[in-house]
């Protein structure tokens, strides 16, 4: 990153260094039985940001697992049912089928 670069330059630089799986230790969840996974709550969070112009509002969605204190997946795009489904589709089937989900809404 160049000196005096923008926040966007910094974000792009950090993003390039981030592994595709966000460094999640999936083994911690993989070792749980389906019954044990039913006791795991996944928190779904969303926040918005303006990219460039106010008309270019983007929503960042994420799923956080309090049990292992890690963000499991994220999705950046719009807001709505279709985008929420895209976020959920990024989770392994075992988690979608067995864990409970919570939001702040």
Domain span including residue 99: 21-103
CA contacts within 13 A on the Cβ side of 43 = 12
Give all strands (DSSP E) within 1-105, no chain letters: 41-50, 57-65, 70-77, 100-103
Within a domain: 2: no
Within a domain: 61: yes
Chain segment 7-23, per-residue pLDDT in tens: 667 666 766 777 667 77
Least Cα distance to 94 among 31, 49, 51 occurs for: 31
As for how many domains the chain has, the answer is 1
Within a domain: 72: yes
Give CA angle at 23 (21, 24), nearest 5°: 80
Within a domain: 85: yes
Q: Which residues contact 48 (CB under 8 A, 6 or more apart)?
A: 57, 58, 59, 60, 79
Within a domain: 1: no
Evaluate if residue 91 carries a pLDDT over 90.
yes
Report the predicted TM-score, pTM, of the whole model to 2 decimal places: 0.74
Within a domain: 25: yes
Within a domain: 11: no
Chain segment 75-90, per-residue pLDDT in tens: 888 788 998 899 999 9
């Amino acid at each position: 990153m160049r000196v005096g670069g923008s926040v966007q330059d910094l974000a792009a630089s950090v993003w390039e260094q981030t592994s595709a799986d966000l460094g999640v230790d999936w083994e911690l969840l993989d070792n749980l039985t389906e019954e044990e996974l039913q006791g795991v709550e996944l928190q779904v969070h969303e926040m918005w940001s303006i990219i460039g112009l106010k008309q270019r509002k983007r929503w960042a969605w994420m799923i956080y697992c309090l049990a292992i204190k890690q963000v499991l997946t994220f999705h950046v795009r719009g807001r709505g049912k279709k985008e929420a489904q895209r976020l959920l589709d990024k989770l392994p089937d075992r988690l979608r089928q067995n864990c409970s989900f919570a939001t702040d809404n």
